[in-house]
Amino acid sequence: MAVLELLAAHPDDRFTLSEVARRCDLNKATAHALLSALSERGVLLRHPEEKRYSLGPVLVSIGEAARRGYSAVDFVRPTLYALARDTGLWARAWVVEGDHISVVADAGRPPGLPPGRPVRLPLVPPIGALVMAFADEATVEAWLARAPAAEGAAAAAAALPDIRRLGFAVTLATPEWRTLTGSTPRPVAVVAEESSPLRALLAATAHQPLLVTDVDRATTTPAEIAAPVFGRAGDVPLALSLTTTTDEPVSVDGVHRLAAAITEAADGLTAMVGGVRP
């Protein structure tokens, strides 16, 4: 392990037998036996002329096998804690489960919010726009067909190219959206004759222009700024969001700073699981 850690810490360098022995605190006989055995298995490479050692190709397949055993969800909590600490906002991770999207982890939850139930929302426009911006045509069409209102479907479809271009999504704050996503201490009252409060909220948000396509407007009042974590197939198995809980306007520079923070975090998770941006 000492030998592997040394070489992994210096991937662009090659080391002689003497250097490995000295840095790993081994006698030369032990170091020679270790390096010879690791080289025979392809774990290390020995340069034929320089007689120096570096990491070998077998480790590539070993690392890939280890990475396949994990998903972005396994690594997301430290990322959320860092985002919440650095931005002062509520950081959440969302996963798609069939025709729903759910919060699976969070950090920095504002103290004024009631505990409530875990957020689990149906994938109907505009919910899930960030995921759909990178989905195939058939999946997007099925998503748009579930829209509670035709105007909501049209607005969501129009926003997808901009979300894809930007690499993040900004959703504006409205009382209904905040109630739907659990980011308000004062849930909005729903239509009295509506049998399902959820259905009423979905219908209300379907008529609201929530998805921002021009992030360079003077100020905006975002409820969420979200970025995708890509999987190995170029899909979006996980999305990160920064949620505000006040309706204070945010400047253009402020939106870009928050977007940069969350896209950097999402890109880090993408790289960690070997994801590919489509």
pLDDT single digits (tens) 19-43:
999 999 999 999 999 999 998 888 8
* Lowest mean pLDDT across 17-21, 47-51, 227-231, 247-251: 47-51
| Mean pLDDT for the chain overall | 88
Has residue 264 got a pLDDT over 80? yes
Residue 53: pLDDT band (50, 70, 90) is very high
The whole-number pLDDT of residue 217 equals: 80
**pLDDT band at 56, cuts 50/70/90?**
confident
Q: Does domain 2-66 have CATH number 1.10.10.10?
A: yes
Of 57-61, 67-71, 169-173, 220-224, least confident by mean pLDDT is 67-71
Sign of CA dihedral 41, 42, 47, 53: negative
d(CA 34, CA 174): 64
Judge if the upstream peptide bond of residue 209 is cis by omega within 30 degrees of 0. no
Are the folds of 2-66 and 70-272 the same? Answer: no
What are φ and ψ of residue 239, in 5° steps?
A: -130, 140
Q: For residue 185, what are the CA distances in angstroms to 11, 12, 22, 45, 101?
A: 51, 53, 61, 60, 22
Mean pLDDT calculated for residue range 207-213: 90
pLDDT band of 190, cuts 50, 70, 90 = low
What are the tens digits of pLDDT across the range 62-81? 776 666 655 566 778 899 99
Backbone angles phi, psi at 262, to 5 degrees: -80, -35
Delimit the domains of the chain by residue range.
2-66, 70-272
Domain covering 70-272 in this structure, CATH number:
3.30.450.40
By mean pLDDT, which of 103-112, 140-149, 195-204 is the weakest? 195-204
Calculate mean pLDDT across residues 190-204. Answer: 71
| Residue 92 vs residue 70, higher pLDDT | 92
What's the pLDDT score for residue 103?
A: 92
